[in-house]
Amino acid sequence: MSGDPALEIRARVAFGSGPDAFVLDADLPLPGRGVTALFGSSGCGKTTLLRAMAGLVRPQPGRIVVGGEVWQDDAAGVWLPTHRRALGVVFQEASLFPHLSVQGNLDFGEKRVPAAQRRIALDQAIGLLGIGHLLARRPSQLSGGERQRVAIARALATSPRLLLMDEPLAALDAARKAELLPYFERLQRELRIPILYVSHSLDEVARLATHLVLLDAGRVLASGPTGELLTRLDLPLAHGDTASTVIDGELAAIEAEWGLLQVRFAGGLLHCVQAAGSPARRVGERLRLRVLARDVSLTLAPAQDTSVLNVLPTTVRVMADDGPAQTLVALDAGGTTLLARVTRKSAYALRLAAGQRLFAQVKGVAVLD
Ligand SMILES: Nc1ncnc2c1ncn2[C@@H]1O[C@H](COP(=O)(O)OP(=O)(O)OP(=O)(O)O)[C@@H](O)[C@H]1O
């Protein structure tokens, strides 16, 4: 993905002992940059992992090693307090000092690190988060989205090796979320710092995360590129109504008269509706798309006279039942896995089988960024 070295996280911590204990046992090689999403059902240990890494809770016994540095090892009597761990933390609610201005909050973050160890200049953090015009304000004079941007800049001001984010968008309404998302994209494009990001929203994960870690009852169920894990039929994300494929492509043409974008990827060309209010686009730019499995139908021959613009030649990779009446079909579209969710009856009628060539009709494509 990049030349940046991976950051190895090893965490083994326990709350309590015996049958009621909660044990978290996770080895995570994080890519050296970009967003890694931590995803899993309620109670699987996402927040515990983040808080234990940050030293905000101390489940015992525990051992936490990040990038070769031991931050907690109860067997050896090692415990590094939060301020000595080279990480930045951003929570759902920005915890800024109310009596300090934005500048004061940022200075506080910067002073935590000796000048010789600073790797991110305050100006860079201010520029990345677009908060230059807010420096004189107090936190109470900021909107929720602005507060969160300042909180992220303050975390960056500490020159962390790693950023931890626990549902940083969850407290914001849809409009504020949309306002903040481009900043996250910018962070992952421009910073060489891995971001470990807890979210309950598959939309957010699909949009932001290049890497995904699925936790289940304190253990890593799977870890890998987001697009790959979303479409693995042996994993829960590929099932149900939200099952989808993430496709990274390049803008091939803008059909302004039809309000459409043509996006090319290895499996062919997809037409996408250009959403109202979406940013101006340039031919050649990279775009991330999401296709819901339920929006993909299958035909043995390319249909004539259809209203569906997107028809891709594909090969069936693998299939799995999804509930009593549906079948999930993982298709190979030029090396990208595309999921289709069809009725079991249709799968039977088309005699679907691994290796079969057929055409995927894609009814809806969302542009994620
Ligand atoms: N202080 C504590 N003492 C004992 N058990 C705890 C403590 N804090 C968390 N746990 C247990 O650890 C487990 C993981 O909780 P955690 O909050 O990390 O889950 P989560 O995946 O973040 O859940 P959610 O998605 O609901 O936020 C739960 O079983 C919880 O009861």
**Ligand 1 centroid from CA 170, angstroms:** 18
70, with CB counted inside 10 A (0-12, 13-18, 19+), is: middle
229-267 pLDDT, tens per residue? 999 999 988 988 889 999 999 999 999 999 999 999 999
Answer yes or no: pTM beyond 0.80.
yes
Closest CA to 314 of 250, 255, 245: 245
Closest atom of ligand 1 to CA, residue 218: 14
Closest CA to 54 of 84, 12, 15: 84
Give the residue with greater pLDDT, 29 vs 49: 49
Name the residue with the closest Cα to ligand 1, atom 7. 15
Q: Could you please report the per-residue DSSP string of 166-181?
A: ESTTTTS-HHHHHHHH
Q: Give residue 307's pLDDT.
A: 82
**Ligand 1 centroid from CA 205, angstroms:** 21
CA distance 138 to 19: 48
Question: Which residue from 47, 196, 201, 216 has its CB within 8 A of the most atoms of ligand 1, so it is best to mutate?
Answer: 47
Question: Which residue from 25, 38, 48, 51 has its CB within 8 A of the most atoms of ligand 1, so it is best to mutate?
Answer: 48
Residue 118 has pLDDT above 70, yes or no: yes
171-221 pLDDT, tens per residue? 888 888 888 888 888 888 888 889 999 998 888 888 889 999 999 999 999
**Ligand 1 centroid from CA 43, angstroms:** 5
Q: Is 51 touching ligand 1 by the criterion CB < 6 Å?
A: no
Compute the residue count for the chain: 369
Closest atom of ligand 1 to CA, residue 57: 1
Residue 12 has pLDDT above 90, yes or no: yes
Q: What residues pair up with 333 in beta bridges, in sequence order?
A: 336
Closest atom of ligand 1 to CA, residue 200: 25
Question: Which residue from 12, 13, 15 has its CB within 8 A of the most atoms of ligand 1, so it is best to mutate?
Answer: 15
Q: Give residue 20's pLDDT.
A: 84
Percent over 90 (pLDDT), the chain? 64
Calculate ∠ Cα 91-96-99, nearest 5°: 165
